[in-house]
């Protein structure tokens, strides 16, 4: 059910859940200070309670309300990447709901870069918690149609068009160690690359097990609640291939055994022909940014074919493809 901007703001203020666009993926939003509104997100998504949510704020000035510390390094990152596909995890104020923190002592914050969503945050005066607007473990939605296909037509959706970035935000944890030194860790790769974060924040001095001056490593292991291996999955069983030629051989074998299969390829101009057999495939762009934008839409389309198997070619194992490879690897993990 499509709703207007005014209705979306009114519903959020009444403690209801609304699907909203962002530049990354569509989110299932609720007032981040209203526990019963937040609970509905978990119920609708069938999401475990210990998976924390990202709080979407309208600008950097809102950060202090949520955190006990906003170190200079985190300020620099926020200034460099907000509004944008970038989430900061920082120590949470005591008043922050346990529901939104998923029981963690930290809170995840992001200023989304979507004009309609920023307008909604201003109009409602709220900060909204929003995980991706799909059932737990399923494919993330990048259009309003995807949201309705996954969660049903009863879900109110603010339609902001197709998401430009196409995959979830980069998540960075900024924390202070026992010596009062500030560090950062990448918790989830995204289209704002680790190299881009390093250009702003310097090298992540903290690497687990390795401490520059041989001090024992007392900082906690990176904790990434809610990052299941089985995330972002289509319903169709999926197999990943490093080598496109091997994928094509497997496709031929599937066809000969009358398995119905389809493929996701990368940077291929021609539709591969497999003799007599018809074989549906989609080729993503050879540019990482464009491929990310196309990724979930392509997986949704291939999944809708209800094949016996999806064969997926992985992009090269290079830094610029890290985020796309991460999502495909999780989708293919069974
Ligand atoms: O692009 C995005 O980030 C999208 C759009 C809607 O903004 N949102 C999104 O939310 O991807 P979700 O729920 O699918 O992912 C939230 C993830 C959690 O699974 C967890 O890995 C991390 O963010 N997270 C959230 N709060 C955290 C915290 N306090 N500490 C560590 N990780 C946290
Ligand atoms: Mg998600």
- Average pLDDT, stretch 294-309? 94
Q: Could you give the percent of the chain with pLDDT greater than 70?
A: 88
Atom of ligand 1 nearest to the CA of 108: 26
Q: Give φ, ψ of 6 to 5 degrees.
A: -60, -40
User: pLDDT band for position 234 (50/70/90)?
Assistant: confident
* Ligand 1 and 22: CB distance under 6 A: yes
Looking at residue 254, its pLDDT comes to 87
- Average pLDDT, stretch 259-269? 88
Q: Which neighbouring-strand residues pair with 18?
A: 29
Atom of ligand 1 nearest to the CA of 92: 29
Ligand that lies nearest to the alpha carbon of residue 87, given by its number in the listed order: 1
- Kindly report the protein residue whose alpha carbon is nearest to atom 19 of ligand 1: 226
* Ligand 1 and 157: CB distance under 6 A: no
- Kindly report the protein residue whose alpha carbon is nearest to atom 32 of ligand 1: 224
316 pLDDT exceeds 80?
yes
* Ligand 1 and 236: CB distance under 6 A: no
* Least confident segment among 94-108, 176-190, 246-260, 263-277: 263-277
Ligand that lies nearest to the alpha carbon of residue 190, given by its number in the listed order: 1
Residue pair 274/265 in contact (Cβ under 8 Å)? The answer is no
224 pLDDT exceeds 50?
yes
Residue pair 88/74 in contact (Cβ under 8 Å)? The answer is yes
For residue 167, report the distance from its CA to the centre of ligand 2, in Å.
10
Ligand that lies nearest to the alpha carbon of residue 292, given by its number in the listed order: 1
- Kindly report the protein residue whose alpha carbon is nearest to atom 24 of ligand 1: 52
* Ligand 1 and 27: CB distance under 6 A: yes
Per-residue pLDDT of 106-163, as tens digits, reads 999 999 999 999 999 999 999 999 999 999 989 999 999 999 999 999 999 999 999 9
User: pLDDT band for position 230 (50/70/90)?
Assistant: low
For residue 272, report the distance from its CA to the centre of ligand 2, in Å.
32
């Amino acid at each position: 059910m499509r709703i207007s901007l005014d209705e979306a703001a009114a519903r959020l203020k009444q403690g209801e859940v609304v699907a909203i666009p962002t530049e990354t993926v569509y989110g299932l939003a609720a007032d981040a200070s209203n526990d019963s509104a937040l609970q509905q997100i978990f119920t609708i998504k069938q999401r475990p309670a210990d998976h924390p949510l990202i709080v979407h704020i309208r600008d950097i000035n809102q950060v202090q309300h949520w955190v006990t510390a906003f170190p200079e390094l985190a300020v620099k990152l926020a200034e460099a990447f907000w509004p944008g596909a970038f989430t900061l995890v920082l120590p949470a104020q005591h008043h922050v709901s346990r529901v939104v923190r998923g029981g963690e002592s930290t809170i995840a914050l992001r200023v989304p870069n979507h004009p309609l969503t920023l307008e909604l945050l201003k109009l409602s005066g709220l900060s909204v918690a929003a995980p991706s607007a799909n059932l737990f473990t399923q494919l993330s939605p990048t259009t309003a149609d995807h949201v309705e296909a996954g969660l049903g037509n009863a879900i109110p959706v603010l339609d902001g068009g197709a998401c430009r970035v196409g995959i979830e935000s980069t998540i960075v944890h900024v924390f202070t160690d026992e010596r009062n030194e500030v560090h950062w860790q990448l918790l989830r790769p995204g289209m704002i690359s680790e190299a881009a974060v390093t250009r702003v924040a310097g090298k992540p001095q903290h690497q687990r097990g390795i401490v520059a001056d041989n001090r024992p490593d007392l900082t906690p292991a990176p904790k990434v609640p809610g990052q299941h291996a089985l995330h972002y999955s289509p319903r169709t069983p999926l197999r990943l291939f490093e080598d496109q030629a091997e994928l094509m051989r497997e496709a031929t074998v599937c066809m000969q055994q009358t398995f119905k299969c389809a493929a996701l390829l990368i940077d291929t101009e021609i539709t591969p022909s497999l003799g007599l057999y018809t074989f549906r495939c989609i080729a993503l762009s050879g540019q990482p940014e464009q491929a990310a934008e196309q990724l979930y839409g392509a997986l949704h389309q291939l999944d809708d074919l209800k094949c016996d198997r999806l064969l997926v070619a992985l992009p090269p194992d290079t830094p610029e493809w890290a985020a796309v490879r991460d999502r495909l690897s999780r989708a293919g993990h069974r």
